[in-house]
């Protein structure tokens, strides 16, 4: 199973680039930028990665990204992720970035965008790994801040495929961002939103009805609401599920209690993703393997997860078919 998952062609659709910041690279970039970290060593930093909940993680996530200041910092971060994803046979990736996490600290939007973009293009050229970039609004900031961020993004529409919504969920429902998402849709951005990670099933419904998202990021809590599950199945709304994230942020108590197989059995279009792999103890193949082992997933189920990852991607029908043909060839050797 380990080698079957390792060689399986797949897409990754829920990945925060700032969440791929490995401690070793963080220390190296901090040194080159003359920025101190509140930990004396890589080991001390790693030891702090024991989270009570989403907010507890976000505090370290925002602290970590503070050392990213120059374009090469963002390029190095992104390139490190792409090499790692390529090793996991990720053929296509749709990555989130959090511009407000940078502009708030005085780092220009374009510094982050240019650095990330440069690495993404290099990934396509040198690794054959295609990608899309999704800009997330921080939902714990006011909608007016998201509006200003969208204004800036409009000048870079050629490089930003979609808009997402992340950060502290509870108390910041999708309805708070209804107007800015309407404007983003009018401008032609594809939309996704984190919903139902810590927040209730109602937030998932709001993301569909008010933000008109094409995918739900996480969506675990949708299972609390049977009618909502039926709708997600009927409308084939993909859920980008992140198993190891769910365990580390205590959204799910233990691997055997993870709802991934239940979601598959209900006919939901679920995908497996790594979210913030540097913080949660594993990249995408580690997520597949943890679920395979805990839930005794079959090879057919693993292939379904990979098939869903391409179907749910922001690719053209032709691009999806080309990826699926490669997957079918691989699965045909079962
Ligand atoms: N949830 C919400 N916001 C985030 C996450 C997450 O898992 N990772 C980075 N920002
Ligand atoms: Zn996420």
Q: Can 12 be counted among the known catalytic residues? A: no
Q: Which whole number is the average pLDDT over 301-330? A: 98
Strands across the sheet containing 239-241: 10-16, 90-97, 130-138, 162-166, 190-195, 215-218, 239-241, 270-272
Nearest to 258 by CA among 269, 279, 272: 272
pLDDT in tens, 282-292: 999 999 999 99
Q: How many CB atoms lie within 10 A of CB 329?
A: 10
Q: Residue 109's domain is classified under what CATH number? A: 3.20.20.140
pLDDT attached to residue 266: 98
Query: Is the pLDDT assigned to residue 82 strictly greater than 70?
Result: yes
With the most atoms of ligand 1 within 8 angstroms of its CB, the residue from 12, 13, 15, 19 to mutate is 19
Give the domain extent around 189: 2-332
pLDDT in tens, 143-190: 999 999 999 999 999 999 999 999 999 999 999 999 999 999 999 999
Residues 6+ apart with CB under 8 A from 293: 1, 255
Round the average pLDDT of the chain to a whole number and report it: 98
How far apart are alpha carbons 115 and 326 in whole angstroms? Answer: 31
pTM (two decimals): 0.98
Tell the residue nearest (CA) to atom 7 of ligand 1: 275
Number of the ligand 1 atom closest to the C-alpha atom of 18: 9
71 Cβ inside 6 Å of ligand 1: no
Number of domains into which the chain is organized: 1
pLDDT attached to residue 141: 98
pLDDT attached to residue 260: 98
Kindly give the distance from the C-alpha atom of residue 16 to the centroid of ligand 1, in angstroms, as a whole number.
Answer: 7
How far apart are alpha carbons 310 and 293 in whole angstroms? Answer: 23
Kindly give the distance from the C-alpha atom of residue 334 to the centroid of ligand 2, in angstroms, as a whole number.
Answer: 32
Residues 6+ apart with CB under 8 A from 63: 38
313 band by pLDDT with thresholds 50, 70 and 90: very high
Its sign, for the CA torsion 117, 119, 121, 127, is negative
pLDDT attached to residue 334: 63
pLDDT attached to residue 197: 98
Kindly give the distance from the C-alpha atom of residue 166 to the centroid of ligand 1, in angstroms, as a whole number.
Answer: 6
How far apart are alpha carbons 218 and 109 in whole angstroms? Answer: 26
166 Cβ inside 6 Å of ligand 1: yes
pLDDT attached to residue 114: 98
Tell the residue nearest (CA) to atom 3 of ligand 1: 167
pLDDT in tens, 41-80: 999 999 999 999 999 999 999 999 999 999 999 999 999 9
Kindly give the distance from the C-alpha atom of residue 136 to the centroid of ligand 2, in angstroms, as a whole number.
Answer: 10
Tell the residue nearest (CA) to atom 4 of ligand 1: 167
pLDDT attached to residue 60: 97
Q: Which whole number is the average pLDDT over 211-219? A: 98
197 Cβ inside 6 Å of ligand 1: yes
C-alpha dist (Å) from residue 152 to 42, 48, 135, 232: 35, 35, 11, 33
């Amino acid at each position: 199973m380990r080698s079957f998952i390792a060689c399986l062609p797949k897409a990754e659709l829920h990945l925060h680039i700032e969440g791929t910041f490995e401690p070793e690279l963080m220390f190296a970039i901090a040194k080159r930028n003359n920025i101190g970290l509140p930990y004396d060593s890589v080991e001390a930093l790693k030891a702090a990665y024991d989270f009570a909940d989403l907010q507890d993680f976000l505090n370290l996530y925002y602290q970590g990204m503070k050392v990213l200041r120059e374009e090469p910092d963002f390029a190095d971060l992104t390139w490190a992720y792409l090499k790692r994803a390529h090793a996991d046979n990720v053929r296509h990736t749709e990555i989130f970035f959090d511009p407000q996490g940078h502009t708030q600290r005085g780092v220009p939007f374009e510094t982050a965008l240019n650095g990330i973009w440069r690495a993404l293009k290099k990934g396509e050229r040198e690794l054959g790994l295609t990608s899309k970039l999704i800009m997330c609004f921080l939902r714990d900031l006011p909608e007016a801040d998201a509006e200003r961020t969208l204004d800036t993004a409009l000048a870079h529409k050629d490089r930003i495929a979609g808009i997402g919504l992340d950060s502290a969920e509870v108390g910041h429902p999708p309805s708070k961002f209804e107007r800015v998402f309407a404007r983003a849709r009018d401008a032609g951005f594809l939309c996704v939103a984190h919903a139902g990670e810590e927040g209730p099933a109602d937030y998932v419904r709001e993301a569909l009805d008010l933000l008109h998202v094409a995918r739900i990021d996480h969506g675990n809590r949708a299972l609390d609401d049977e009618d909502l599950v039926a709708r997600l199945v009927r409308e084939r709304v993909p859920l980008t599920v992140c198993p190891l994230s769910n365990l580390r942020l205590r959204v799910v108590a233990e691997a055997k209690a993870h709802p991934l197989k239940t979601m598959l059995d209900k006919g939901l279009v679920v995908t497996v993703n790594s979210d913030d792999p540097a913080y949660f103890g594993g990249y995408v193949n580690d997520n597949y393997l943890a679920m395979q082992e805990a839930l005794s997933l079959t090879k057919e189920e693993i292939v379904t997860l990979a098939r869903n990852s391409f179907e749910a991607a922001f690719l053209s029908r032709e691009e999806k078919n080309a990826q699926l043909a490669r997957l079918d060839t691989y699965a045909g050797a079962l």
